[in-house]
Chains A and B, each alone.
Chain A
């Protein structure tokens, strides 16, 4: 027993050291990359993309299911984006609220006969509408498909551009976001097959007429902690993984993809729990199997602002779903592990996801249990235990403050001193008890998945205008 506890505690210790060291390496890579990106931006002007005749048209697909609170603001902001040629396809995925009615009122929709080729699978389409207020807007009304993936697939069938940009209906893109996300695509259109932008927390900021007026930190602690999490995930994690062309996720809230390629792999998998990570994993698999020379990019400056859960229950559901989505991708793709055919994806990216993402809740919560048991049995060195806690706490805080530093050095959206002070404070506060709670939600996700429970649990939303009110 003592041997078991000792081994478990040592395993936990080394797991923690390796995990944080990987974060540290990612932080250093991200700092270097974003510094270079900033320097490049200084000598770069986005206006040429806006004016160039070579910029390919983009179709923005907005899947919406019961989004009557945010759909007007969201679509209005999309239509105001700076880009030479684009169309917006809003997919009403069998909403039972006033989503379609809201769009009809706001954008003066009329029913049209439009080109729709059911090339990828989705639930039947009831009708297509075009806006009289802005002819670039097409609304697709369809039977409920039970997933966001199904709605996006319907949009893909109606899309007429060589690139599609998938945006959540509860999100707002910054005006130049499309221009910025297309920079790597335009620089190397043959290799760059898709690109993701950064997703930031909208809660607390001020919105006016579908545009972000002032960026502020949210008031609730649970929302501020998510700000730190998002900064860490995007500015450190994705930036670093993309450097090695091992990006495994492009956020479902905002990403640009080559239309022909997504259609070729059958569109989004309708039964996928995490359709965004699933799509990128399938793209990697397809392109690696084809032996294609490709790149999946992350661009840190095109910003998508999204509403995050503001209560524990919704947040717990979201995190459990993310964990289920992760397992739902890792398990079917387990054959990619350590096979030369899949290169760095099989040797680095997927093993990392298995060890430090999938197993994290099991190892961390198991570790807490063995430490407690060892302490109770008196076989744990109190000195070591305290030192380990201090080390773990201080090291994890370095990573979180590192992400705030990264934000400060580069994009600096939180200009208010008070906001920065709060942001830094939460870097110290998030480790207890939020982190443990987070692990429990993720463990719940694993258990639910193993039990076959993949139901979508609704989350409480305030709608864009109210989410953006401090």
Chain B
């Protein structure tokens, strides 16, 4: 059998061109026709939708209270979509009392049942839309249907379910997500999963601990990051076990969560983590030390200003500048480090906080300092160069693909 190319060669260019002309002109006309028809249709559709939405808005209270019989709008999909969108939008900004009223309306009108049905029985984008809408209702009865969506073979369905569960923002939704992650592993991108888990676990971060202990690899990293975000003082010493974890991400997460532990213990652990070989673990530790604002952390932060990574330097400098007292002493120690970029990082942080002029005034006003020493500090503050220049350190990143958590 001859190939397409052989056929084309045999019929010759001229015959091919004639057919191609017809196809191309037909293509042009079809495309143009489609654009014109679509525009006309959409123009009419939106005009109709706006008019209808305006009518519903005028009758809002009667609609929500059920004075207007549900059947008058529920049977027509066009009206039903408008009402549902309006109610879900209102739910976003509603106070608890209004939320309860709107949720009651969604239940009584059967909209939640309908969405649960769609989330279970429809396919493709109709199902995705139903899953997201169900999540937006925050109705607990929708959690089971959303959890079923998590186990679908299509990525888009899983993502829509995840978003829906994230919107629920309750421990029950967190349990469903965590159980599913335990069964299936990381079968969706980590970030949407983290974003869904953070609001769901915020109320009860302890939910994460058993899963963290049994998980491995990327799932453990992801759960570690979530823990770092939601950790509260209620976790107490549970966090300590992760400070020496072999996984970089988990050590970083422990560092991020540590400000919620007992301060003295936290400073000790964070000081160790600030010496870690992985730059983003050091970064998290330095940021957390800054949040704690404990004077014991000053030597570690000073060392951080001379770190090989510039982000660590900057965050260490910012943390030092955040100390309300002893800024002159800190500045003296920064100058004594004789690290040009460390000094620049400190001065940058000082500038950003708008405290440079204050520090200069404070140095001038201080009494227990020799004039020569004052002059040196003021000169360094004004010129931004240390008294003895040191060669620049180069930034090293442990891995090409390493990123902050």
Residues of A within 8 A of B (CB): 10, 13, 17, 39-40, 42-45, 48, 52-54, 56, 112-119, 130, 135, 160, 162, 186-190, 258, 260-261, 263-264, 290, 292, 381, 383-384, 387-388, 390-391, 394-395, 397-398, 401-402, 404-405, 408-409, 417, 420, 424
In the assembled complex, the CB of A228 is this many whole angstroms from the nearest CB of chain B, namely: 13
A189 and B191 in contact, given A383-B14, A397-B28, A424-B35 (Cβ under 8 angstroms): yes
Q: Is the CB of B39 within 8 A of A113?
A: no
| Beta-carbon nearest neighbor of A112 in chain B | B351
Q: Which of B344, B347, B403 has the most CB of A within 10 A?
A: B403
Which residues of B sit under 8 angstroms from A118, Cβ to Cβ?
Answer: 392
Q: Is the CB of B348 within 8 A of A112?
A: yes
State A188–B395 Cα separation when bound (angstroms): 25
State A56–B354 Cα separation when bound (angstroms): 24
Q: Is the CB of A114 within 8 A of B400?
A: no
B397 sits at the interface (CB 8 A): yes
| Beta-carbon nearest neighbor of A383 in chain B | B14
Query: What are 25 A-B contacts with C-beta separation under 8 Å?
Result: A40-B156, A42-B128, A43-B129, A43-B132, A52-B198, A54-B191, A113-B348, A115-B314, A116-B344, A119-B394, A186-B191, A187-B189, A188-B190, A190-B403, A292-B401, A384-B17, A387-B18, A387-B21, A397-B28, A398-B28, A401-B32, A402-B31, A404-B31, A408-B35, A417-B39
Q: Is the CB of A43 within 8 A of B131?
A: yes
Q: Is the CB of A10 within 8 A of B13?
A: yes
In the assembled complex, the CB of A410 is this many whole angstroms from the nearest CB of chain B, namely: 12
State A296–B14 Cα separation when bound (angstroms): 42
Which residues of A sit under 8 angstroms from B24, Cβ to Cβ?
Answer: 391, 394-395, 397-398
A53 and B160 in contact, given A112-B351, A115-B310 (Cβ under 8 angstroms): no
**Closest 8 pairs (CB-CB, A-B):** A113-B384, A394-B24, A43-B132, A398-B27, A113-B347, A187-B189, A112-B351, A401-B31
Interface Cβ pair total, 8 Å cutoff: 144
A424 and B344 in contact, given A54-B195, A119-B395 (Cβ under 8 angstroms): no
Residues of B within 8 A of A (CB): 13-14, 17-18, 20-21, 24-25, 27-28, 31-32, 34-35, 38-39, 125, 128-129, 131-132, 156, 159-160, 163, 166, 189-192, 194-195, 198, 225, 229, 310-311, 313-314, 341, 344-345, 347-348, 351-352, 354, 383-384, 392, 394-395, 397, 400-404
Q: Is the CB of B352 within 8 A of A135?
A: yes
State A189–B402 Cα separation when bound (angstroms): 10
Which residues of A sit under 8 angstroms from B28, Cβ to Cβ?
Answer: 394, 397-398, 401
| Beta-carbon nearest neighbor of A184 in chain B | B189
SS class of chain B's interface: helix, strand, loop or mixed?
A: helix
Q: Is the CB of B195 within 8 A of A48?
A: yes
Q: Is the CB of B13 within 8 A of A13?
A: yes
Q: Kindly identify which residue among B20, B163, B194, B225 contacts A44, using a CB–CB cutoff of 8 Å.
A: B163
In the assembled complex, the CB of A322 is this many whole angstroms from the nearest CB of chain B, namely: 28
Q: Is the CB of A190 within 8 A of B401?
A: yes
Q: Is the CB of A264 within 8 A of B400?
A: yes
State A17–B4 Cα separation when bound (angstroms): 14
In the assembled complex, the CB of A344 is this many whole angstroms from the nearest CB of chain B, namely: 20
